[in-house]
Amino acid sequence: MRDVRPSWVATAHQVAVRALGWLDAARDHFALPVDVASDRLRPNEDIKPLGELALTVSIAIREAAAGSREAQLAPALAAFAWAQFRDGDVLYELQREQPIETFPTETYAWFARTGHRHPRLDELVAHLSGLRAARVTEVVPNRALAIFNAERLLGLPHRGDPAALTARTWLGGTPEPWAIDFFTLYAVTHAVFHLTDWGARADDLPPHLQTYLHAWLPAWLEVYLEAGQWDLVGELLIVDLCLTEPDCHPHAWEALARAQQPDGLLPTGPERVPTDAAKAFREHYHPTIVAAIAGTLAVSRRIGAQATR
């Protein structure tokens, strides 16, 4: 890792601790609706937030870089999310009823990382992954990498070659850096997340793409720092931490920490955070998820860099 000031590491740690604390305090907002059948749950409004909570704490548990309180909090939140999914029964029912959908398997993969397994769901996803239909699932390129990573975590045969899947993404084509927009940049970040399993496999990101990101990520970061788009800023910082040699961007971390509220919530953008707790959760839980992951990876990468010196 390139030169990193100790103050930068402390800032990243503070961001992660505060964000994780807010996620814990907001756990009731992550809960699935009571007495709603699995097939009536809404993927984006109900399933996605709880799955992203599972992702966040799975990374915190994997990295084991937090303080003692956070080390207890992450497994407790993982257990909470798993209980909300009725120990995996909800995901099993969703996958059984919608066999060509991939989000139940992708969500399950985060739980599998934390040791939560569901034998019938394991059997089902293994069967589905072997179907001809699994090889021709029509999804956008970065989502194909998400499926690839979920299958990798679950120990399933891969549906495609990661190099070929990466080549189909916007990032894989190394386009002119100015030929990008807000939503395409999110696709770039997620291609990196899935290919590297959120920084655990940085060497899986091809060298020419690492060179491309070293060259252009700083420019993209400056644009969205100026715009105060904190959700995307946080995701770009995670991308940096998925490189084999992160650049770290201390000034961006300082800006992110200033934008974070004292209770740990990180606003999505420059808009005012609603005073209504439920509305604030709906609008701003995601950047707070991003802040927790980014801060966790930053501290972990710093510890890893020190250990190899």
Which pair of tokens denotes residue 68? 């003692």
Which is more confidently placed, 3 or 174?
174
In single-letter form, the type of residue at position 298 comes to A
pLDDT of residue 131 exceeding 70, the answer is yes
CA nearest to 268, candidates 224, 207, 221: 224
**Cα–Cα distance list, 130 to 124, 127, 159, 265 (Å):** 10, 5, 9, 42
pLDDT band at 301, cuts 50/70/90? confident
CA nearest to 110, candidates 91, 131, 127: 91
**42-46-52-57 Cα dihedral, nearest 10 degrees:** -140
Indicate the range of 2-16, 141-155, 217-231 predicted with least confidence.
Answer: 2-16
CA 152 to chain centre: 16
pLDDT of residue 306 exceeding 60, the answer is no
pLDDT tens track for 19-51: 999 999 999 999 999 989 998 999 999 999 999
**What is the predicted pLDDT for the residue at 268?**
97
pLDDT tens track for 110-128: 999 999 999 999 999 999 9
Cβ neighbours of residue 241 under 8 Å, at least 6 residues apart?
A: 199, 294, 297, 298, 301
> For residue 294, what is the enclosing H or E element?
helix 277-307
pLDDT of residue 135 exceeding 90, the answer is no
**What is the predicted pLDDT for the residue at 59?**
96
Domain ranges of the chain: 6-307
Average pLDDT over every residue of 133-146: 93
Indicate the range of 60-69, 104-113, 135-144, 199-208 predicted with least confidence.
Answer: 60-69
pLDDT tens track for 242-282: 999 999 999 999 999 999 999 999 999 999 999 999 999 99
**What is the predicted pLDDT for the residue at 305?**
62
Residue showing tokens 């709603």: 36
Domain 6-307 has CATH 1.50.10: yes
pLDDT tens track for 52-83: 999 999 999 999 876 767 788 999 999 999 99
